[in-house]
């Protein structure tokens, strides 16, 4: 079982390390997605540089990076904590990808895919929590950071336990840590907190 868990953890990280936003944007526009916009390998930055269709493709692929290793870890009968670590390593791989010089994305889509693999209801609740916090705080990075920390609490309050809670905690901690780098960033595209011109 120990070797099997290691294989799933390795799969999680390597799966997360596939930089789909980088590849899709290069294919569609011939540019490095990290050279513009937020500088991150994300769905939203793909939309900024390559359009909504490319962004939608990246979103699906990135969610798949979290979904597949987590889903099969559950099916293999791994303990809840081992499943959660598989999910967290997929998010870590996305944020610090082996195949893109450790310059990756922020992990939201991958975390969403992992949650979807263990609980569609948990995924929807976590998504609603994220959207509510971003709209309330009006800052995407700060809203996402707090969602990573508060999301597991919300799931616990609505009665979700077991593997879904473990996955939410593990992925949420990575998300919260990752979004600290954008704490002071001023957003200009896609979000409600876009920078306003000075009077």
User: Which pLDDT score, from 0 to 100, does residue 187 have?
Assistant: 63
- Is the pLDDT assigned to residue 191 strictly greater than 80? no
Reduced DSSP (H G I as helix, E B as strand, rest coil) percent helix, strand, coil of the chain, to 5: 75, 0, 25
Q: How far is CA 41 from CA 49, 50, 122, 131, 173, in A?
A: 11, 12, 25, 20, 19
Q: Is 194 helix (H, G, I), strand (E, B) or coil?
A: strand
- Is the pLDDT assigned to residue 180 strictly greater than 70? yes
Joined tokens for residue 11: 């799969």
Rounded Cα distance, 139 and 133, in Å: 9
> For the chain, what percent of residues have pLDDT higher than 70?
93
Average pLDDT (138-159) is: 93
C-alpha torsion sign, points 116, 117, 121, 126: negative
- The pLDDT tens digits of the residues spanning 32-80 come to 898 887 888 999 889 988 989 999 999 999 999 999 999 999 999 999 9
Smallest Cα–Cα separation from 39: which of 193, 163, 190, 182?
182
- Residue 187 dihedral angles phi and psi, to the nearest 5°: -90, 145
Contacts of 63 (CB under 8 A, 6+ apart): 109, 110, 112, 113, 116
Rounded Cα distance, 131 and 123, in Å: 12
Q: Which residue's entry shows tokens 């997605």?
A: 33
Rounded Cα distance, 176 and 142, in Å: 9
Query: DSSP secondary-structure letter at 33?
Result: G
Rounded Cα distance, 6 and 78, in Å: 11
Note the residue count of the chain: 199
Burial class for 183, CB neighbours closer than 10 Å (0-12, 13-18, 19+) = exposed
Confidence of residue 198 (pLDDT cuts 50, 70, 90): very low
């Amino acid at each position: 079982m120990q070797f099997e868990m290691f294989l799933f953890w390795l799969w999680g990280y390597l799966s997360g390390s596939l930089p789909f936003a980088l590849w899709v944007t290069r294919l569609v526009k011939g540019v490095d997605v990290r050279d513009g916009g937020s500088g991150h390998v994300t769905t939203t930055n793909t939309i900024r540089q390559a359009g909504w269709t490319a962004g939608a493709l990246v979103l699906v692929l990135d969610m798949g990076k979290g979904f597949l290793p987590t889903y099969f870890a559950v099916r293999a009968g791994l303990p809840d904590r081992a499943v959660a670590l598989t999910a967290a390593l997929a998010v870590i791989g996305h944020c610090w990808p082996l195949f893109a010089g450790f310059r990756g994305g922020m992990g939201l889509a991958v975390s969403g895919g992992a949650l979807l693999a263990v609980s569609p209801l948990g995924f929807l609740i976590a998504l609603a929590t994220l959207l509510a916090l971003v709209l309330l705080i009006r800052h995407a990075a700060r809203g996402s950071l707090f969602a990573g920390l508060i999301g597991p609490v919300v799931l616990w309050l609505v009665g979700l336990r077991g593997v879904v809670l473990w996955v939410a905690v593990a992925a949420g901690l990575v998300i919260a840590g990752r979004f600290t780098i954008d704490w002071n960033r001023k957003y200009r595209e896609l979000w409600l907190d876009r920078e306003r011109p000075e009077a």
